[in-house]
Amino acid sequence: MALFKKKAQEAGSGQNLQALDDSKKTRDLTGLYSKCISVALIVLGIYHLYVSFFGVSSSMQLRGFHWTILSTVVFFMYPAFKKSIRKVTALDFVWAAAACACGVYILLNWERIAISGGVVNQVDIIFGCIAVLVVLEVTRRAVGPVLALVALVFLLYAFFGHYIPGTLGHRRYSLERIIKFMYTGTEGIFGAAMNVSANYVALFVLFGSLLEKFGGGELFVDLAYSLTGKMRGGPAKAAVVSSALMGTMSGSAVANVVTTGAFTIPLMKKNGYKPVVAGAVEAVASTGGQIMPPVMGAAAFLMAEITGISYSKIMIAALVPAFMYFYAIFMVVHLEALRENIGVADASEIQTIGAILKRGGYLLLPLILLIVLIFSGYSAIFACGYSIAGILIIDLIFSKERKKILDKFLSALLKGMKSIVSIACACAAAGIICGVISLTGVGTKFSSLMLSVANNSTFLALLMTMFASLILGCGLPTTAAYMVLATLAVPALTKMGLPLLASHLFVLYFGSISTITPPVALSAYAGAAIAGANPNKVGYKAFSFGIVAFIAPFMFVYNPALLMNGAAVEIIISVITAVIGTLMVAIAVQGYMKTNLGAFERMLSFVGGCCVMLSGWTFNLVGLAMIAVVVALQFTRAKKAA
């Protein structure tokens, strides 16, 4: 990895990375502030580890403690405005005190409220009002103004929706009823989203942080480069493979771009890829981490919570679509290398797989343990807790730096808890949104309206859901976008007869790939900053490279075998046709096979690839016929050129 870093620095990543660092929103705290926040977050991390092994007396206790710590530290970590980024202000102290007071109050009083059957007093309502304001403010600071504004709009709808005529109107709700629903129960702020953040996401983020801190990130990047370095366009293929592997740790698109892109993008540029292409490749590959088992990001755990489907089944169902996604990107960069005549990387940069595994292969054991435990039927919390313990034990056995284990452990805890702050804020805001939906019944009304507009057309309903997911994903984190659509749109899809899991995965995929969908493509912007390229150009290039991700959800809705649902023979045939279809779509995107494709050939490749991926022999045969025409034309033209 040291050699990899050196080559990346030689290729010129330093200046762009510095520019990326300068644009961050968090304060660089020092002194007493830094120590206090570090202690609070490390204590929270240890508490989550304790709960994973020994449990907790109530879910509300876990959610309350989790949110109290994180909502309090937000006001020190994130400034209210850019001008206050250098120092903590008196206003920050006021907000932090309010957040802490609301959290402590509900921890001390939730049992009284539960025993009394939900009876609340005036003090409860006052603290509830403050808690809602705190959620809006922490969301604005840590996540962005769009999600905070959406949550505010839903709150206003709860208060004033009775003035709206027609289907979307609702009966009048008092302030006490709304605040009680949002604060004192498990439907609003401390609802399903916060439960996922406190129970699952915190542990899996800690697992990824520990694995990376103890050398897992370096191992994955080295393995990817060793496997692909001797191929044409090796650095770009290394970006695809390493991002797929890193996705098992972080489940965050932008985090993957910044982590692996710091090394792969400069090497891609050095290898001959244009800056726009290099940034786009890394952005698309890193976005796939959110749909790559076994972690898949926070939304997948939320899916398990909402649907009641075990996380292991969700992982299995996501395997083939995730493979299609990364296979398509791999072929896109391969075809780019062929068309642009990009050669192989310098052999001196490539280490052997044996040498890499001998040095750090033991770090794969905790990941293997995690997967085995989940598929053995153990809960995700149990599996993750014991896998974290496995990291520490394995490091004690194999590492040569045993004396540093405590420092690395505490550092990983701190990093993991810092990275979960924005996720928890998004979950709290999503809790308010879904609380309003549940309270007012607007979800059922929206589903009925959607069914009416779609006129019982499944394809039209899917198309509407796709656009809604992409639009929401432009301004909301994947978790929040997924939760809103899972509440509003998925019921309509299931009423049309679509399978529950396929409907939820459909929403999740489009919520995830919104990070490469212009005009707001956050992953692409992060890749552009490292590549030194125009963000808009990188965004549109990433969108074209990731076109398979826009097709795959429709394919697995109409072909359930792609979600491992069906007979073994049917699944095998579907996987084979998916590989063929994905390859042809990649060829259509790049416009190159043996030679450059004309417009007619690209159209045949695209339509033929889609037909092959659909269920049914009629579609398959038509698709294969189109593909055969393209292949014949390409080989004939290549033979003439030779």
Q: Are 247 and 288 in contact (CB under 8 A)?
A: yes
Residue-level length of the chain: 642
What is the spatial distance between Cα 395 and Cα 551, in angstroms, rounded to a whole number?
Answer: 42
What is the pLDDT averaged over residues 523-539? 87
User: Which residue, chain included where needed, has tokens 């304060």?
Assistant: 27
DSSP 8-state secondary structure symbol assigned to residue 189: T
Q: What is the pLDDT of residue 146?
A: 87
What is the spatial distance between Cα 175 and Cα 160, in angstroms, rounded to a whole number?
Answer: 11
Q: What is the pLDDT of residue 436?
A: 92
592 phi and psi, to 5 degrees?
-150, 135
* pLDDT at 157 > cutoff 80: yes
Q: What is the pLDDT of residue 239?
A: 81
What is the pLDDT averaged over residues 304-333? 89
What is the pLDDT averaged over residues 65-89? 92
Instruction: Give the CB-side neighbour count of residue 539, counting CA atoms within 13 A.
Output: 14
Percent of the chain with pLDDT over 70: 95
Q: Are 342 and 272 in contact (CB under 8 A)?
A: yes
Q: What is the pLDDT of residue 15?
A: 39
Alpha helices in 78-120 (DSSP H): 90-115
Poorest-pLDDT segment among 191-200, 444-453, 562-571: 444-453
Q: What is the pLDDT of residue 477?
A: 77
405 CB-contact burial (10 Å; exposed 0-12 / middle 13-18 / buried 19+) = middle
What is the pLDDT averaged over residues 170-187? 90
Q: Are 80 and 145 in contact (CB under 8 A)?
A: no
Query: Which residue, 555, 549, 631, is CA-closest to 587?
Result: 631
Q: What is the pLDDT of residue 144?
A: 85
Tokens of 308: 């009641």
Q: Are 225 and 356 in contact (CB under 8 A)?
A: no
Poorest-pLDDT segment among 247-261, 513-527, 618-632: 247-261
Q: What is the pLDDT of residue 177?
A: 92
* pLDDT at 20 > cutoff 50: no
Which H helix or E strand runs over 194? helix 192-196
Q: Are 40 and 71 in contact (CB under 8 A)?
A: no
Q: Mean of the per-residue pLDDT values for the chain?
A: 86
| Widest distance between CA atoms in the chain | 85
pLDDT tens track for 475-515 = 677 778 888 888 888 998 998 889 999 999 999 888 888 88
Q: What is the pLDDT of residue 601?
A: 93
CA 399 to chain centre: 31
Q: What is the pLDDT of residue 57?
A: 81
Q: Are 124 and 109 in contact (CB under 8 A)?
A: yes
Q: What is the pLDDT of residue 247?
A: 64
Percent of the chain with pLDDT over 90: 34
Q: What is the pLDDT of residue 6?
A: 53
pLDDT tens track for 211-240 = 888 888 788 888 888 888 788 888 888 888
* pLDDT at 605 > cutoff 90: yes
Q: What is the pLDDT of residue 576?
A: 92
Q: What is the pLDDT of residue 216?
A: 85
Poorest-pLDDT segment among 86-95, 107-116, 243-252: 243-252
- Confidence bin at 546 (pLDDT 50/70/90): confident
- Confidence bin at 13 (pLDDT 50/70/90): very low
Q: Which residues contact 615 (CB under 8 A, 6 or more apart)?
A: 558, 559, 560, 561, 574
* pLDDT at 596 > cutoff 50: yes
Task: Tally helices (H) and strands (E) across the chain.
Answer: 31, 0
pLDDT tens track for 351-408 = 888 889 888 889 899 989 988 998 888 888 898 899 999 999 998 888 877 788 899 9
Q: What is the pLDDT of residue 19?
A: 35
81 phi and psi, to 5 degrees?
-140, 160
CA 400 to chain centre: 34
What is the pLDDT averaged over residues 244-251? 65
What is the pLDDT averaged over residues 403-419? 90
Q: What is the pLDDT of residue 14?
A: 42
596 phi and psi, to 5 degrees?
-65, 140
Domain locations in the chain as residue ranges: 28-192, 566-642
* pLDDT at 132 > cutoff 60: yes
Query: Which residue, 602, 603, 621, 601, is CA-closest to 612?
Result: 621
Q: Are 68 and 41 in contact (CB under 8 A)?
A: no
* pLDDT at 349 > cutoff 50: yes
Instruction: Give the CB-side neighbour count of residue 634, counting CA atoms within 13 A.
Output: 23
* pLDDT at 60 > cutoff 70: yes
What is the pLDDT averaged over residues 60-80? 94
* pLDDT at 16 > cutoff 50: no
